[in-house]
Structure 1
Amino acid sequence: MTLWFILALMTVAAVFAVLWPLGRAPGAPREGSETAIYKDQLGEIERDLAAGLIGAGEAEAARTEVSRRLLAAADASPVAAAAPQRGLRRAVAVAALIGLPFVSGALYLKLGTPGLPAFPLAERAQAPAATESLDRLVMQVEARLEKNPNDGRGWEVLAPVLMRLGRYPDAIKALRNSIATNGPTATRHADLGEAILMGANGVVTAEAKAEFEHALALDADEIKARYFLGLAAEQDGRTREAAGIWRAMLAKAPDDAPWRPLLQRALARVEGVAAPSEEQIAAAGASDAERGEKVRGMVERLATRLRQDGSDVDGWLRLVRAYMVMGDRDKALASVKDARAALTQDAGRLRQLNEGLKGLGIDG
């Protein structure tokens, strides 16, 4: 209430300061300085004539010239505007004095936020700057967690941020600490497996697979763990098993599940080159060497198909990934070269290929 009273007084004072001159009678216009000079010169001419310093003819000529200049200066002076009636000016001043505060108050109530709570200077000084970078905030959280490593909530909040920043080793550490302090859950183990996978350029390593299996042991319906175990099967060449995992997930998925398109793309990817299942190979009495030979045969069939039709970006990525899993990096790089040559006329697919290769740790 005190603030409003002070603001009202300030408004009245400001209005009076501006409108007070309107209530005063206008003063007589001042003569211009140039006109005054010419009048002084006329007086000097008369004094010089009286003192005998100049003759009558010279005095007359000088008076004529100075008078001409005086008239010219008078004509150039602005004509004073007719003063408005004093009563009208005062009425305008009173109307402005009363109306301006009401108009400004109405505008504030319409456009302002009078109900906004106060935000004292001390609180503003403590609030983080809007431009403070995410990296700086992460560093502050990490420093706090170093001093208080048992802050499970802090580790759980920090881990996904580190994942988004691409700091996978740090994310793995944060997730391990989160599990240690908060306890194991299917979600935490699945997130840890994903961080390990991302740190390995998209390859489901044995360590990542163990985390996904641990997650499923805690919750058989953990979506992320099931998907990545399907991916592990695909990377191992067990495409039928991968397709079975993903098909079962789709069968149970709600129609509006956001991960349905991902599963559908994965199924389309593996069902184009389905390999014999582990059960079929075992039933045929195949040895480990024979099983590996069959996987290599599947990869070579995929390579042959891509040489005939090189427009399949996902197929190229599967082929490169398969060679990398098999430890044949030379063939993987050769396939990258062939893929880029096949897609050189299609900028969109070439860009998609290069983005996929980055996920496999191949760039340039």
Structure 2
Amino acid sequence: MLLWIAFSLMTGAAILAVLWPLRTGAAMPAASTAEADLAVYRDQLAEIERDRASGLIAPAEGEAARTEVARRILRASAESGREGASFGDDRRRRIVAVVGLLGVPLLAGGLYLSLGSPLYPPQPLAQRLEGQPNPSDIAILIRKVETHLEANPNDGRGYEVVAPIYARIGRLDDAARAWSNAIRLLGPNAQRETGLGEALTAQAGGVVTVEAKAAFQAALAADPNDPKAQYFLGLAAEQDGQTAEAAQRWSALVAASPPDAPWLGLLREALARIGAPIPDAASGPGAADVAAAQSLTPEQRDAMVRGMVERLEARLAQEGGDIEGWLRLMRAWTVLGQQDKAKTAAGQARTHFASDSGALGRIDALARELGLGS
């Protein structure tokens, strides 16, 4: 009931706002005042003529009276014209008033029937935050998490959820702070450390700062195969003037990446920028790729290279027709000191290319070179 009363008041106010500028004075009388005056003045002229003819007034006085009455007739005639125009204006006002009286309620009612309902509950911000927010309403999502974190400051998962959202909308200080809190509460991992490193790098306008570099190194310690950490550490090396190290990191990452990896374009641009050769993606690591890991600690280097080799081995198990990949796998296992795995790779390669004498010749030649037997 209160809702409909409110609607009625709002509709009345809208109509009043439309009609108020159209208001006029008192209604026009049936007989125009100016027309009545003209009739009186005409009678006066006739009376003056009768008096002059009968000699009741002198000719000079009669002419003066006639002139005065004529002046009044001209003024009344002008007022009569204005009243006619005013009557036309009033007619237009009445038309607009009728449209306002009928149109405003009909338009408002139609919009409400199509877009609203008296059954909808009120939705203030606090209740919207308590309910399930629209995923597209980023402001509501952020405020919901922030409200939760104010009440639960030790919820590391909440910081982890909101940190990338902060970064995406440009709140870089908040993103770095959220990632730091997530790491403090949940412990470090590759995703959290690279998130922190990216936020710090963006804060510095694209410069990999000391703090950002430390975060990427921590990410690489947690996951030696993390592509973001590898890329940004290569970027840090380039910014420090160590282009050889940058080329090594990026080349190894290109070689270890699948052909459809989304970061390959960025890596190729980076390699071209420093004038380094661009290896083929998914060709697997070889001796040169193993050498690219020399700048890492022994543990990081071994983990990185082993992960690259294992990915190549898994790919060849599914797509065994890549002779270059098999040769690289044999060489990589040999470099890592895994002679048995290198021999196994050679045997598997021979099985895949049993009907290809040229490929078998290359496999046997590399096996002899690596000391794996024929």
* Greater relative contact order structure (CA < 8 Å, 6+ sep): 1
- With structure 2 as the length reference, what TM-score do the two structures score? 0.42
- With structure 1 as the length reference, what TM-score do the two structures score? 0.43
